[in-house]
Amino acid sequence: MQLDVFTLTPHAFAWLTEQRPVATVLGSELELRLFSYRDTTPLRAAKVDDEPYGGGAGMVLRVDVVAAALDAAYGGVPEHRVVALTPQGRQLTQDVVEELVQEDRLTLLSARFEGFDERVVRHLASDAISIGPYVLSNGDLPAMVLVDALARRLPGAMRDESGTWESFSPELEGGLEYPQYTRPPDFRGWRVPEVLLSGDHGRIEQWRRDQSRRRSLL
Ligand SMILES: C[S@@+](CC[C@H](N)C(=O)[O-])C[C@H]1O[C@@H](n2cnc3c(N)ncnc32)[C@H](O)[C@@H]1O
C-alpha cells in the first residue's frame, strides 16, 4: 500500500515510523510518503493558511495550497481515494479500516487551527474521516492513528494470530476481546481464572468466546 500524508509537520511522523507494526511493514507492504504543504505552497513566505471569510478566530488551510500540493505530487487530484481528516467526517471504526486497507494507494490530508477551507473537503478530497467525536489541535495524530490501524492489517505486520483474535475482528463476531492474563498466576490474592491454567484448549476457547460475548453484550 502506498500511503501519502500531507501535513505541515512531516517530522512529527518520525516516531511512528520507528514503532511496530509500522516499522515492520515499511519498505515492503507499506510505502509511507510525507509531504509538506509548505514545500509547494504558491504563497510567499511559505504561507499556507488565511483568515476566515466572515470573520472569527483562527486560520483556515487554503484550498489553493492543498491543490498545489496535490498537483506537485500527482499532477492534479488523484484517481485514488483522498481522505480529509476532520472531526466532521464519518467516524473511524474497524470496518472503515478494513475498507481502506483494500486500497493500493491512499492519501491523507491533515489540517490545523480552524481546519480546511470547505472546498478542500468538497472538491479535492473524496472521503472525510474523524477519529472520534472530539477536537484535536491538528490532523497529525488522526493521520498517525489511521496509519497505525492500516499498517497492522497489512500482510506480515503482526506475529502469529495476534492480529486476528482481537477486538472487532470477525473471529470474535465483531465484539470485544476476552480478558488476557499472564504470570504470576496469583498476585495479592487476585487469581488468574482456573480455566486458563487448565491446558484444556477446548474449554479455554469456549471461556474466551463467552467472555467476549459478555463484554460486548452480543
Ligand atoms: C482544531 S481542528 C478544527 C476543528 C474545526 N474547526 C471544527 O470545529 O470542526 C484542526 C484540524 O485537526 C484535525 N482534527 C481535529 N480533530 C479531529 C478528529 N476528531 N478527527 C480527525 N481529524 C481531526 C483536522 O485535520 C482539523 O481540520
Q: What is the DSSP string of 31-84?
A: EEEEEEHHHH-SSGGG--EEPPTT--SS-EE-HHHHHHHHHHHHSSS-SSEEEE
125 lines ligand 1 (CB under 6 A): no
User: Rounded mean pLDDT of 4-20?
Assistant: 97
| Measured distance CA(120)–CA(48) in Å, rounded | 13
Q: Which three cell numbers stand for residue 179?
A: 480478558
User: Which pLDDT value is given to residue 164?
Assistant: 81
Atom index in ligand 1 nearest the CA of residue 133 equals 19
Pairing of strands 127-130, 81-91: parallel
Atom index in ligand 1 nearest the CA of residue 135 equals 16
Please tell me whether the overall predicted TM-score, pTM, comes out greater than 0.75 for this model.
yes
| Measured distance CA(113)–CA(157) in Å, rounded | 34
User: Which pLDDT value is given to residue 69?
Assistant: 98
Could you read off the pLDDT of 45-100 as tens digits, one per residue? 999 999 999 999 999 999 999 999 999 999 999 999 999 999 999 999 999 999 99
Ligand 1 centroid from CA 49, angstroms:
15
135 lines ligand 1 (CB under 6 A): yes
Ligand 1 centroid from CA 114, angstroms:
7
Residue minimizing CA distance to atom 23 of ligand 1: 86
Query: 25 pLDDT band (50/70/90 cuts)?
Result: very high
Q: Three-state SS for 215?
A: helix
Ligand 1 centroid from CA 2, angstroms:
24
Ligand 1 centroid from CA 100, angstroms:
20
Could you read off the pLDDT of 118-174 as tens digits, one per residue? 999 999 999 999 999 999 999 999 999 999 999 999 999 988 666 688 999 999 999
User: Which pLDDT value is given to residue 218?
Assistant: 64
User: Which pLDDT value is given to residue 159?
Assistant: 80
Pairing of strands 190-191, 186-187: antiparallel
137 lines ligand 1 (CB under 6 A): yes
User: Which pLDDT value is given to residue 104?
Assistant: 98
Could you read off the pLDDT of 185-217 as tens digits, one per residue? 999 999 999 999 999 999 999 999 999 999 998
Q: Which three cell numbers stand for residue 21?
A: 507494526
